[in-house]
């Protein structure tokens, strides 16, 4: 004789929806981080190439030679872009759960867009991938905020992003000033 047991169980449909949406965040975030890694690899390679090509400029730089100035400006741009993306990668590594996404990711999106715009003419493929990443991260932030009912202030995110961009610029200027001690990078990059 079989005795069947019925258990009354109520499942909140909202909870199921939230669980399914949070599960879809992980692959999109992983995809974005993988794309970011690819771009960082390209920029690392490009930076090494430029550093090697510009090594003679340490002693033979001529401010009136447009090729010299353009070469160093390009190295500065690639180094700046690389450092920004490394900061973004570091931020994504701090994500521990769905509720941390709206706190951590929003300032990264304007940073990615800034780098994308700067690389548009020199490395268009990376620029395109960065645009894709910014769209993915934007949708991830919005979806995670909806799931967690988090609120965030875009003006605060933009201010934090600007601060980080300025800090990285100062760091890159300092780094390249050590590499090229006879050059004034502030003057060179702002002319």
CA angle 149, 129, 136 (to 5 degrees): 15
Interaxial angle between packed helices 108-119 and 154-179, expressed in degrees from 0 to 180 and rounded to the nearest 10: 50
pLDDT in the model for residue 104: 92
The burial of 45, by beta-carbon neighbours within 10 Å (0-12 exposed, 13-18 middle, 19 or more buried), is given as exposed
pLDDT in the model for residue 21: 47
End-to-end CA distance of the chain: 91
Model confidence at 2, pLDDT cuts 50, 70, 90, reads: very low
Global pTM value: 0.82
Q: Identify the sign of the CA torsion 148, 151, 154, 159.
A: negative
Tens digit of pLDDT for each residue in 26-84?
899 999 999 999 999 999 999 999 999 998 888 888 888 899 889 999 999 999 999 99
pLDDT in the model for residue 56: 87
pLDDT in the model for residue 50: 94
Tens digit of pLDDT for each residue in 122-162?
999 999 999 999 999 999 999 998 888 887 777 888 899 99
């Amino acid at each position: 004789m079989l005795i069947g047991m019925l258990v009354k169980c109520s499942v909140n449909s909202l909870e199921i929806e939230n669980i399914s949406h949070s599960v879809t965040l992980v692959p999109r975030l992983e995809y974005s981080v993988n794309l970011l890694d690819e771009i960082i690899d390209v920029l690392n390679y490009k930076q090494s190439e430029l550093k090697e090509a510009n090594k003679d400029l340490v002693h033979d730089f001529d401010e009136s030679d447009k090729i010299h100035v353009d070469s160093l400006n390009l190295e500065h741009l690639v180094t700046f872009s690389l450092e920004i993306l490394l900061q973004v990668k570091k931020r994504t590594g701090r994500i521990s759960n769905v509720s941390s996404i709206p706190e951590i990711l929003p300032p990264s999106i304007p940073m990615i867009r800034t780098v994308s715009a700067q690389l548009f003419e020199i490395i268009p493929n990376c620029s395109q991938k960065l645009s894709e990443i910014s769209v993915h991260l934007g949708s991830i932030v919005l979806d995670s905020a909806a799931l967690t009912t988090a609120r965030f202030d875009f003006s605060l995110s933009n201010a934090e992003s600007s601060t980080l961009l300025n800090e990285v610029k100062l760091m890159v200027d300092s780094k390249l000033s050590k590499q090229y001690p006879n050059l004034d990078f502030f003057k060179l990059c702002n002319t």
